[in-house]
Amino acid sequence: GAGVSQTPSNKVTEKGKYVELRCDPISGHTALYWYRQSLGQGPEFLIYFQGTGAADDSGLPNDRFFAVRPEGSVSTLKIQRTERGDSAVYLCASSLNGGPGANVLTFGAGSRLTVL
Amino acid sequence: AQKVTQAQTEISVVEKEDVTLDCVYETRDTTYYLFWYKQPPSGELVFLIRRNSFDEQNEISGRYSWNFQKSTSSFNFTITASQVVDSAVYFCALSEAGRGGNKLTFGTGTQLKVEL
């Protein structure tokens, strides 16, 4: 597509529920990133995919968070047993073929998650 | 560890005024990259500039200019003759070339409000 597409744009859930957030990167971009942005803060790195594999998942806060990219295109961020502290905007970005040093990251509009 | 500090939380100016957004960074790497992103109310992060650590030349793009000074670890952003459309949150970010090169570390952002 023309840009990075994220769905849903808004998700409200109850504490303890499972949620999935989807990211559709720019066509042909091999690198995909997930970031989390809390209110009044800058985005924080969660995970980076190169193709189908997670090349760096050091930013995932705990084992309730998991992400997949089975065909090297669309990615899904999965959060189990959601907690109120998980409330944030989850941003996805993609780049042509690698890290931000050599590649411009294009961000989506984000998925706003609210855990009640 | 890498860190980015944007001490100005919010700046308000009147249209046509010049405004400078400050950014100070910390890194142990000798090779690194600095970025500025704009986040309008729509939420998408818009890339503005990338600068590598070996290029200290100032850059001008239209009404935007950037001043990179390694001696003070600063990468400041100036908007000349500000316009209402410049109102947004601006983020400075850093990426190291080493093992952490897959991630951007963002500052907390500066909210710029340009009023008529």
Q: CB A107: neighbour CB atoms within 10 A?
A: 22
**Is A105 in Cβ contact with B104 (below 8 Å)?**
yes
Query: What does the pLDDT look like over B32-80, one tens digit per residue?
Result: 999 999 999 888 999 999 998 988 888 888 999 999 999 999 999 999 9
Query: How far from the centroid of its chain's Cα atoms is residue B85's Cα?
Result: 17
A106 and B47 within 8 Å at the Cβ level: the answer is: yes
Residue keyed to tokens 């509009």: A109
H-only helix segments in A38-88: none
* Best A7, A41, A89, A92 residue to mutate vs chain B (most B CBs within 10 Å): A41
Q: Please tell me the predicted confidence (pLDDT) of residue A99.
A: 72
pLDDT on residue B1: 77
Average pLDDT along chain B = 92
Give the pLDDT score at B8.
Answer: 97
Q: What is the C-alpha to C-alpha distance for residues A72 and A74, in angstroms, rounded to an integer?
A: 7
Query: What's the confidence (pLDDT) of residue B99?
Result: 61
Q: Which residue of A has its CA nearest to B96?
A: A101
Whole-angstrom distance, CA of residue B93 vs CA of residue B4: 7
Name the residue of chain A whose CA is nearest to B102's CA: A99
Residue A108 to chain B, least CA–CA distance (Å) = 6
A77-86 pLDDT, tens digit per residue, is 999 999 999 9
Residue B70, phi then psi, degrees to nearest 5? -65, -30
Asked if A4 contacts A94 with a C-beta cutoff of 8 angstroms, the reply is yes
Report the chain B residue with the minimal C-alpha distance to residue A111: B43
Q: Which residues of B touch A7 (CB under 8 A)?
A: none
